[in-house]
Amino acid sequence: MTTCHTFNRQVLLKDCRCDPKVDDKHPEESAKTGVWCGRKERLELIIFRHMKIYTRSGDKGTTSLIGGKRVTKSNRRIEAYGTVDELIAHIGLLRDQVSSSTVQQILINIQDKLMICAAILASDCEDCKVRIPELKTASLQELEDAIDNMEKELPELTSFVLPGGHAVSSFAHVARTVCRRAERRIVELSAKHFVPDIVLQYVNRLSDFLFVLSRKLLVDNQGDELKWIAGL
């Protein structure tokens, strides 16, 4: 009996709507049914095709991780990737404020990498049926290169600075502080569960990027940088 695969389960062919003759040659036809036959490699193709916004499955305060395990919504893993999700939203808000198409594209790329981080953090399975995207070390280099390029155009930093001076710079600071909170949540998770080093490294480097970006945006918008002097 041919097996049909859905996101969380496998069912026999007689219980689902898929055509093994159609599937291999025309995967888009199988995608219309929300299932496909035989090849597990296509799972990521199907995941979001028929996603229902409300399922009622979380009404009692639990949710599913990638892999199928159900946990409470206060679980450390949920808190970690939920904070990353919050950070993605703040990056989007920041992106809507900047005028530079180059910076906008950098921020879109960052949102993409953060989505990968969230997927990794949401995975609790050694042999997941879904292919989890990989976060590569080249992503760190991209952030470091961007930091180095911005710092060439900035005055030397000789003290702490107070956020403010221009709205777009302040949005970057808010994103930076959310990024730091995401980092703390990931560290908490890593104390109990395996988290790839690259995830923590990326989020740590991102907060540095957002700080330098806040300064660059302030300069670009003719804002005044206010140094923090104790007892000011």
221 near 166, Cβ under 8 Å?
A: yes
pLDDT at 13 over 70: no
Residue 1's pLDDT is 37
E-strand stretches of 22-112: 36-37, 62-64, 70-72
pLDDT for residue 28 is more than 50: no
Separation between Cα atoms, residue 30 and residue 46, nearest integer Å? 9
Check whether 193 has a pLDDT greater than 60. yes
- The burial class, CB within 10 Å (0-12 / 13-18 / 19+), for 76 is middle
Is the model's pLDDT at 212 over the cut of 70?
yes
Q: For residue 140, give the nearest of 199, 210, 82 by alpha carbon.
A: 199
Residue 31 has pLDDT above 70, yes or no: no
Number of Cβ atoms within 10 Å of the Cβ of 208: 14
Provide the b/e sequence for 119-148 (b: ≥16 CB within 10 Å): bbbbbbeeeebbeeeebeeebbebbeebbe
DSSP 127-174: S-SS-PPPPPTHHHHHHHHHHHHHHTTSPPP-S-EES-SSHHHHHHHH
Mean pLDDT along residues 182-204? 96
Predicted pLDDT of residue 120: 93
Q: Tell me the one-letter amino acid at 122.
A: A
Closest CA to 111 of 98, 95, 122: 95
Is residue 135 within 8 Å of 113, Cβ to Cβ?
A: yes
pLDDT at residue 84 is higher than 70: yes
Residue 82's pLDDT band (cuts 50, 70, 90): very high
SS3 call for 31: helix
**pTM exceeds 0.85, yes or no:** no
pLDDT digits (tens, 9 = 90+) for 108-151: 999 999 999 999 998 887 666 778 889 999 999 999 999 999 99
Question: What pLDDT is recorded for position 231?
Answer: 81
Domains of the chain (ranges, CATH numbers): 3-51 (no CATH), 70-227 (1.20.1200.10)
Express each pLDDT in 86-115 by its tens digit.
Answer: 999 999 999 999 999 999 999 999 999 999
Tokens standing for residue 53: 């916004």
Is the pLDDT at 69 greater than 80? The verdict is no
Distance (Å, rounded) from C-alpha 119 to C-alpha 28? 24
